[in-house]
Chain A
Amino acid sequence: MFCEKAIEIIRELHRMGDGQLPAFNEDGIRQVLEEMKALYEQNQSDVNEAKSEGKSELIPTIKFRHCCLLRNQRCIAAYLYDRLLRIRTLRWEYGSVLPTNIRFHMCAEELEWFNQYKKSLATFMRSLGGEEGLDITQDMKPPKSLYIEVRCLKDHGEFEIDDGTIILLKKNSQHFLPRWKCEQLIRQGVLEHIMS
């Protein structure tokens, strides 16, 4: 049946969980494009025939093939677009340099798109915050304050902050520290952010 290959490649993409990028299914796309080409050519000849000889029995077939073409087009567009969205989130997760195994899964055009996206994002970030720009990929949620209160969950020993002072992180002590220094430790699970 027509359009089955298209559905198959979409299913394959859907099977991989959120955010993961499977290898680009060159083969599948090519097959779908070939099917579309074949359908189009058949339609072309039938349309000519119907026009010249006035055979209106061909019209349902033509319509049917047209629908299949549209369907294939839509499937491929969805496939490509979904991959692009996943690649975009990769930029926010991994930073501007992607790990090599992921790069292998991207086709040349996708790499090209990724580079363009990176450039756009960088220009945008540079335009924020006056002269220096603002790295918005740093925090997971927009920060509400410069300093946050954190509680120490385990003994971590000494910890140095920007102005050189050292803080002793002992279990059950609470501290009020600059946000950017604590992010790393919060991710590691040593500190816990307290919201009162």
Chain B
Amino acid sequence: MFITDIRKEFYDVVVNQRVALLVSSEIDALCACKILQALFHCDQVQYTLVPVTGWQDLGTAFLEHKEQFRCFVLINCGANVDLLETLQPEEDSIFFICDTHRPVDVVNVYNDTQVKLMIKQDDDLGVPSYDDIFRDEEEEGGNDSGNESDGGSEPSGKRSLITLTFETFHFRREILFDYEQYEYHGTSAAMVIFELAWVLTKDTKDMLWWAIIGLTDQLVHDKITHMKYVTDIATLQRHVSRHNHRNEDEDNSLSIDCMRISFEYDLRLALYQHWSLFESICNSSYTSCNFKLWSMHGQKKLQEFLADMGLPLKQVKQKFNSMDMSVKENLREVIEESSNKYGMKDIRIQTFGVHFGFKNHFLASDVVHATAALLESTEKDDSPGDNFIKALDCLSRSNLERLHGGIDLAKKKLMAIQQTVASCICTNLILSQGPFLYCYLLEGTPDVKLFSKPMALTLLCKYLLKAFVRSTRNKRCKLLPLIIAAPMDVEKRTVIVLGIPPESETSDKKNFFGRAFEKAAESTSSRTLHDHFDTSSKSNVIVIVYIFHKRADMTHYRWALFSIIELKMEDRTKFLDALITLLS
């Protein structure tokens, strides 16, 4: 069920108990976790934090902790699958889920007792009403007559949802199909938890900064539409002004070491203040795709662009902090003006920056890139748990060296992405397979280890598609989706496959891929594993993998939309063939 008053129904319930926090490995989840931890520290709520990377991890973590905890808080995991059936908990376990994945599974929505969703009901959900999808076998006393109202009318009488086991449900196929065909993301979890902090009036600037990072993560990894981003930025801007207003009231202004968040209308160049301007332009997907920097022609255009702005090459190739003040002064406006001439209309984007101390100035997107690089670092001896801890640490202000380390890793990652894209385009590695475009990264490709991780692979995939659309002349190809496969684990010989929807100007970040692919995996008996919670921004589920829990009476295929699966290497080709046949 949806929680209406987050303070009474969630916080006041957990504050007297010990809580298990199960947090997914995403930046938004990390930020939400930090805010919640800070709140728990204030009120001395004992908790245990367990990182989870996928459904298997979630199951294991739950099994390990179910004896000791009654309250579980799940962050960015668990809403889009029937949780009670997956985890099989005891009767008295309560789950509080703060998840951005949509659509929320209907069983989770209509469960009264054990599953509480920390999601606003008006958050663009469109959940079908109760009576439309659940119909009880034994019709007791005219229960069905009645509300068509949205928002789930509950069965009257003593019948509780628990007695309505799945055997007695009759899903109305089409309604459910329509509801679940789209997969997308909702409001950032960090923002939801920040709002809780605000309601408790325990919000601090640190928490606000984390909420900003959570939102920016959704933008950087393309999980929400631009409209939603702008709306959420406006919400956060109100909080920022409220916090800043407090500073200006005092007679003595705050010391330099205090944290100050400011609204910036800044450039869409990744990490440009921690790099040189030239490198940043070359390695940001927006500018690189617009100039087509993988070709000689593109490089020349870039030089023209720089000349047009009057920026000497020597300055532009220097570290940003060492550039001349005269050059830096109106840099943003100058760049915006010139970009308009070159067809880049939105090179500037609304975002926030933070200052503390004399040296430390970070934009929200810088922190997102750094944290993502740390979270998915492929250095040796780094288990996913270690990476989670490092990424969590780098969000604290006291761990600046970690953050700088993360920025360095992010630079390497962006450069690797740029080079891979350039080589793929130049060597025509992207093939049109009919209904979709396909690219396979061979094992020997440099930096291919980086792309065994979902977030990095997603960035590469989007960048690649954008670049391809710009470089190809084939009109039909421009409207096709892209599937990319990269080796995941060389010893186990698995491949990670990811798909994204076609590139379009007005995408609403929801997508639906024509048909059920369960058959594809089944018919070719490919050994597949779907483990990810679905980290790809908007739906684009290419393959529906048969989830490990099977409903006995399922009369239709569950269209689980997950865009990422793992495959065994040998099965790759036949799987793709099956996909082609299915999609065409």
Contact of A176 among B47, B383, B386 (CB under 8 A): B47
Contact with B along A138-161 (1 / 0, CB 8 A): 000000011101010000000000
Which residue of chain B has the shortest Cβ distance to A146 in the bound complex? B44
Which residue of chain A has the shortest Cβ distance to B33 in the bound complex? A174
B50-A173 in contact (CB<8A):
yes
Q: Within the assembled complex, what's the spacing in Å between the Cα atoms of A174 and B22?
A: 11
Tally of B interface residues using CB under 8 Å: 24
Pull 24 A–B residue pairs with CB atoms less than 8 Å apart, ordered by A: A149-B41, A165-B68, A167-B48, A168-B64, A168-B68, A170-B64, A172-B386, A172-B388, A172-B389, A173-B50, A174-B48, A174-B49, A174-B389, A175-B46, A175-B49, A176-B37, A176-B41, A176-B45, A176-B46, A176-B48, A177-B46, A178-B46, A195-B398, A196-B37
Q: Within the assembled complex, what's the spacing in Å between the Cα atoms of A145 and B44?
A: 9
Contacts of A146 in B (CB 8 A): 44
Given A195-B398, A196-B396; A166-B68 close (CB under 8 Å): yes
B37-A149 in contact (CB<8A):
yes
B44-A175 in contact (CB<8A):
no
Most B CB contacts (10 A, CB to CB) among A151, A168, A171, A177 go to A168
Contacts of A147 in B (CB 8 A): 41, 44, 46
Which residue of chain A has the shortest Cβ distance to B51 in the bound complex? A172
Q: Within the assembled complex, what's the spacing in Å between the Cα atoms of A165 and B68?
A: 7
Contacts of B278 in A (CB 8 A): none
Q: Within the assembled complex, what's the spacing in Å between the Cα atoms of A166 and B49?
A: 15
B20-59 with Cβ < 8 A to chain A: 37-38, 40-41, 44-51
B residues apposed to A, CB below 8 Å: 18, 37-38, 40-41, 44-51, 64-65, 67-68, 383, 385-386, 388-389, 396, 398
Which residue of chain A has the shortest Cβ distance to B47 in the bound complex? A176
Contact of A167 among B37, B68, B388 (CB under 8 A): B68
Contacts of A178 in B (CB 8 A): 46
Q: Within the assembled complex, what's the spacing in Å between the Cα atoms of A175 and B50?
A: 9
Within the complex, what minimum Cβ distance (angstroms) separates A190 from chain B?
15
Q: Within the assembled complex, what's the spacing in Å between the Cα atoms of A177 and B46?
A: 6
Contacts of A177 in B (CB 8 A): 46
Which residue of chain B has the shortest Cβ distance to A171 in the bound complex? B385
Q: Within the assembled complex, what's the spacing in Å between the Cα atoms of A175 and B49?
A: 6
Contacts of B47 in A (CB 8 A): 175-176
Contacts of A196 in B (CB 8 A): 37-38, 396, 398
Contacts of A145 in B (CB 8 A): 41, 44
Contacts of A166 in B (CB 8 A): 67-68
Q: Within the assembled complex, what's the spacing in Å between the Cα atoms of A174 and B41?
A: 13
Contacts of B40 in A (CB 8 A): 176
A161-196 with Cβ < 8 A to chain B: 165-168, 170-178, 195-196
- A-B contacts besides A172-B386, A174-B48, 17 pairs, CB < 8 Å: A147-B44, A147-B46, A165-B18, A167-B48, A167-B68, A168-B68, A170-B64, A173-B51, A174-B389, A175-B46, A175-B47, A175-B48, A176-B46, A176-B48, A178-B46, A196-B38, A196-B398
